[in-house]
Structure 1
Amino acid sequence: MRYCEHMTDIPSVWARPKKGREQPALSREQIVSEAIKLLDTEGLDALSMRNLGKRLDAGATSIYRHVANKDELIELAIDEVYGEIEVPSASATEWRAGVAASAQSMRAMINRHPWVGSVLGQVGLSYLGPNVMHMSDRMLALFEKGGFDLVAANRAMRLVLSYVIGAGVGEAAWLTSLARSGLSEAEWAERVFPIAKATAAPYPRLLAAFETADAEDMFTYGLDALLDGLVAKR
């Protein structure tokens, strides 16, 4: 009993017991779905119980029946979007191809939801969400199929996820800036690239690097290098 009481003091939706009765007019699923739409369209700064209530045509009190605060709402939103990540079954794919496919799927999720990278690790216990745990378990199985023991598989998985999140945050920031500018990617390049070339003119190596940069190729190159290193370490 003392343990359960202590658990309720942990600031996480996953550590708080569910209430026995749900509010029939507004479900947790509706709240989380609308919160994600708000985050996707207006960003993290726009997320508040008041703004969310307006979008749901409900008062903040109705939302507080399901979540204790904004951090819990973000935890739930994180877990929901993690459910979009596709991790191949270890029994149906070669391990390295499966890990690469998982990384690409996670990268695509972050690009769809640019706010994710800025909140991971900052609120609650996101790693206890059911979708996050499901993804992690399937990725561990892929690494175990590749000959990693459980400790090494866990380390390898965390390294891959850290790489994808790090790369994804940079891409998401770029996509957010592009959306705010109101320009297409081609229009942005047409305006900015000449400025970048002129600025880098005194640095020939850097100038050449600018002219050959490709985000897709860079991501794949980095992921392959990381997996090569993990295989050698194994």
Structure 2
Amino acid sequence: MPRDTLSREQIVRAAIELMDTEGIEGLSMRQLGQRLGSAATAVYWHVTSKDNLVVLASDAVWDEIDLPDLDTVPWRDAATTMAQGLYAMIIRHPWLVPAMSTHLLHGPGKARHDDHLLGVYEAAGFTGPDAAQAAGVVVTFVLGTALGTAAETAWQNRLRRTGQEDQIQDLITQATETAMQFPRLRAHATAWTSDDPALNPAQDLEFGLQTILDGLQTRLAAPS
């Protein structure tokens, strides 16, 4: 595809799809050009560098998060919706976590999200720096909760790309055997095999999120 028929949007979307399957380390202008049927030089003409492309792709995925109407949705419901949306977005794009550690991520997509998130906590009654801190506490918790699942997806994809997927079960077995040497981990592992439907990442997210929101609501009600 010649450079004049490519668009930045096409390139960014193709980069997202490539990183979803290959990880951030699998992104190259050559592979991207092959996906688009174009030369790598044509891709560079639109996005200037691989680092710039990572920033553009990282910003684009923030548009996937729905923003609730703050005039009609109670603040806790709005906070929960946005937190769940952020978690789901990171799980869809696990490469975003390592991208955050190597790039300064910015752009209209993330700014749109962050601005609306501040509005949620301002609607709750937080003002000034308190609103930013409340929003930051929730975002940090969501990122931390998603990190484990995203990391597991990333290393499993890496083993599959390198033809070592037969090692996945061996690694899980080794990790389990190590955990069994410690009494509390052993007791919890036994509980996890009890087919309890509540023992899943979504339940962990819900429990932690509502606990944090309870604390924020208590803080709002406390005397100044």
TM range (shorter): 0.7 to 0.9
CA shift, 1:133, in A, is: 1.1
CA RMSD in angstroms, aligned pairs only? 2.5
Matches within 5 A, 1:80-159: 80-124=60-104, 126-127=105-106, 129-159=107-137
Q: Distance in 1 between matches of 2:182 and 2:30?
A: 51
For residues 192 and 56 of structure 1, do their structure 2 counterparts lie closer, same or farther at Cα, with a shift above 3 Å needed?
A: closer
CA shift, 1:143, in A, is: 0.8
Q: Distance in 2 between matches of 1:192 and 1:121?
A: 26
CA shift, 1:189, in A, is: 11
Q: Distance in 1 between matches of 2:133 and 2:149?
A: 24
- Contact 2:8/2:46 (<8 A) preserved: yes
Residue 232, structure 1, aligned to residue 218, structure 2: yes
The C-alpha deviation readout for 1:133-188, integer Å capped at 9, x for no partner, is 11111111111111111321111112211211122121111223445667xxxxx9
Q: Which amino acid aligns with 1:110?
A: I
- Contact 1:89/1:138 (<8 A) preserved: no
For residues 97 and 29 of structure 1, do their structure 2 counterparts lie closer, same or farther at Cα, with a shift above 3 Å needed?
A: same
Tell me the TM-score normalized by structure 2. 0.81
When the two structures are aligned, how many residues end up with a matched partner?
Answer: 205
2:15 — aligned with what? 35
Q: Which moved more, 1:189-198 or 1:153-162?
A: 189-198
Runs of at least 5 residues in structure 2 that lack an aligned partner in the other structure:
161-166, 193-198
Tell me the TM-score normalized by structure 1. 0.78
Q: Which amino acid aligns with 2:219?
A: K
CA shift, 1:216, in A, is: 2.2
Q: Which amino acid aligns with 2:125?
A: G
1:206 — aligned with what? 185
Q: Distance in 2 between matches of 1:198 and 1:121?
A: 31
- Contact 1:118/1:169 (<8 A) preserved: no
Q: Distance in 1 between matches of 2:135 and 2:45?
A: 36
- Contact 1:88/1:98 (<8 A) preserved: yes
> What secondary structure sits across from 1:51 in the alignment?
helix
For residues 26 and 194 of structure 1, do their structure 2 counterparts lie closer, same or farther at Cα, with a shift above 3 Å needed?
A: closer
CA shift, 1:121, in A, is: 4.9
- Contact 1:99/1:142 (<8 A) preserved: yes
Q: Distance in 1 between matches of 2:100 and 2:39?
A: 28
Q: Distance in 1 between matches of 2:158 and 2:48?
A: 32
1:216 — aligned with what? 202
Residue 25, structure 1, aligned to residue 5, structure 2: yes
Q: Distance in 2 between matches of 1:196 and 1:64?
A: 43
> What secondary structure sits across from 1:86 in the alignment?
coil
Q: Which moved more, 1:52-61 or 1:213-222?
A: 213-222
The C-alpha deviation readout for 1:23-49, integer Å capped at 9, x for no partner, is 531100010011011101111111111
Runs of at least 5 residues in structure 1 that lack an aligned partner in the other structure:
1-22, 183-187
- Contact 1:83/1:131 (<8 A) preserved: yes
